[in-house]
Chain A
Amino acid sequence: MGMKSDIKLIDDNGLRIDGRLPNQLRPIKMEVGILKRADGSAFVEWGGNKIIAAVYGPNEAYPKHVQEADKAIVRARYNMAPFSVDERKRPGPDRRAVELSKVISEALESVIFVEKYPRTSIDVYIEVLQADAGTRVAGITAASLALADAGIPMRDLIVGCAAGKVDDVVVLDLNKEEDNFGQADVPMAIMPRTKEIALLQMDGDMTYEELTTAMEMAMDAAKKIHEMQVEALKRKYIKEVDEDD
Chain B
Amino acid sequence: MEGKIAIRKIVVPGEEIDEKGKPGNGVFVENGKLYSAYLGIVDTRAGYVNVIPLSGCYIPKKGDKVIGKIIDLAPMNWVVDINAPYYAPLHVNDVPWRVEFGDTGRYLSIGDVILAKVSNVNELGQVWITLKEQGLRKLEGGHIIKISPFKVPRVIGKGGSMIQMLKDYTGCRIYVGQNGIIWISGPPEGIITVIKAIRMIENEAHTYGLTDRVKEFLEENRGESNGNEE
Query: Which residues on A are within 8 Å of B, measured CB to CB?
Result: 39-40, 57-60, 69, 111, 113, 117-120, 148-157, 191-194, 229-230, 233-234, 237-238, 240-241, 243-245
Contact = CB atoms under 8 A, between A and B. Distances in A.
A18 B218 CA distance: 56
B93 interface: no
Nearest to B57: A58
B86 interface: yes
Interface in B178-227: 200, 203-204, 206-207
A59 B87 CA distance: 10
Interface stretch (B4-12, B103-111, B160-168): B4-12
B14 A234 contact: no
A167 to B, nearest CB: 37
Contacts of A245: 1-2, 5
Given A148-B39, A244-B1, A237 B125 contact: no
Contacts, number: 99
Contacts of A120: 85-86, 125
Contacts of B86: 60, 119-120
B95 interface: no
A240 B35 CA distance: 25
16 contacts: A40-B55, A57-B85, A113-B28, A118-B123, A118-B124, A119-B86, A148-B12, A151-B39, A153-B26, A155-B28, A192-B14, A230-B12, A244-B203, A244-B204, A245-B1, A245-B2
A244 B200 contact: yes
Contacts of A153: 13, 26, 37-38
B15 A60 contact: no
Contacts of A238: 7
A148 B5 CA distance: 24
A244 to B, nearest CB: 6
B53 interface: yes
B13 A118 contact: no
B37 A150 contact: no
Contact of A191 (B14, B148, B206): B14
A74 to B, nearest CB: 14
Interface string B13-43: 1110000000000101010000101111000
B204 A154 contact: no
B12 A157 contact: yes
A233 B39 contact: yes
Given A58-B85, A119-B125, A229 B12 contact: yes
Nearest to B6: A241
B39 A149 contact: yes
B14 A151 contact: no
Contact of A60 (B38, B87, B204): B87
